[in-house]
Amino acid sequence: MKMIRAIVRPEKENDVVLALEAKGFPAMTKMNVFGRGKQKGITVGPIHYDELPKVMLMIVVEDNESPAVIDVIRQSAYVGYEGDGKVFVSPVTESYTIRTGTRSE
Amino acid sequence: MLVEITAVIRRDKVAPTMRALDNLGLGSMTIATVSGRGRQGGNIMTDIDREVPAEYESVSKITKHLTPASFALSHSLTRPVFWVPKRMLTIVVPSPMKDDVVDLIVSTNQTGWMGDGKIFVSPIEESLRIRTGERGTSSI
């Protein structure tokens, strides 16, 4: 399994979630995070912002599903400007459903 | 070898889980406030908001729809809950202890109802205690 962590614009969160849901990936965890990228934040007039609010979506899927999920996120979170966010993929060796205690690899 | 155990659990189960882990000798963890949704894609608020009665006949049709929450919204059933408030515990343990910790989390958090949560186990390549610079198993 793969854990996909996508850091997206808060205003794009709903689009991403609905797009994933439509493709059959309704299960995910989201959290509000702050981040900055390669540009070290943004400067608007005299003020420099280096803690930009973002939403992190965490989705765990089977290995063969991860390219599809990444595609969906790329299309739905895309604006075309700096700050669109990042997607990170990491391995998950096993997962458990607490309600039933079943294990899956 | 270290593994990271990420558990997304009910909010009211954090304290029992911490107590149970303390008994196992594992006190250290990171707790984050997150929102989650499972395979059902959210839920319908019936227990929380009793003033808005749910139409159970319509609720039974929900499985035919995308998610319970989107169905509830389109049919103005009752208040849809797209995101359920959850707590995420991140615990890094030596890999031999993994099964004990997972069993413990499962047994303390199991209620048998949807929304009990998930546990994910993933490998940790490197770990470092910032204060002393210790690495590996001795750093946790």
Q: pTM of the prediction?
A: 0.81
pLDDT tens digit sequence for B43-86: 665 544 445 454 444 444 445 556 666 666 666 556 666 788 89
Give the chain A residue whose CA is nearest to the CA of B39.
A27
List residues bridging with A6 in a β-sheet: A57, A87
Whose tokens are 């899956």? That residue is A104
Which of A15, A99, A104 to mutate against chain B (most B CBs within 10 Å)?
Answer: A99
Phi, psi of B79 (to 5 degrees): -75, 120
B97 and B2 in contact (C-beta within 8 Å)?
Answer: no
Residue B74, pLDDT score: 61
Per the CB < 8 Å rule, is A26 touching B111?
A: no
Tell which wins on pLDDT, B5 or B77.
Answer: B5
pLDDT, tens digit (0-9, with 9 covering 90-100), for A44-86: 899 998 899 999 999 999 999 999 999 999 999 999 988 899 9
Report yes or no: B127 and B28 within 8 Å, Cβ to Cβ.
no
Interface contact B8-A29, CB threshold 8 A? yes
Predicted pLDDT at B48: 44
Mean pLDDT of chain A: 92
Q: Measuring CA to CA, which residue among B84, B68, B89, B74 is closest to residue B18?
A: B89
What is the predicted pLDDT for the residue at B37? Answer: 84
CB of B112 less than 8 A from some CB of A: yes
Q: Which of B8, B11, B37, B71 to mutate to test the interface with A (most CBs of A within 10 A)?
A: B37
Residue B137 banded pLDDT, cuts 50, 70, 90: confident
Q: What is the pLDDT of residue A105?
A: 83
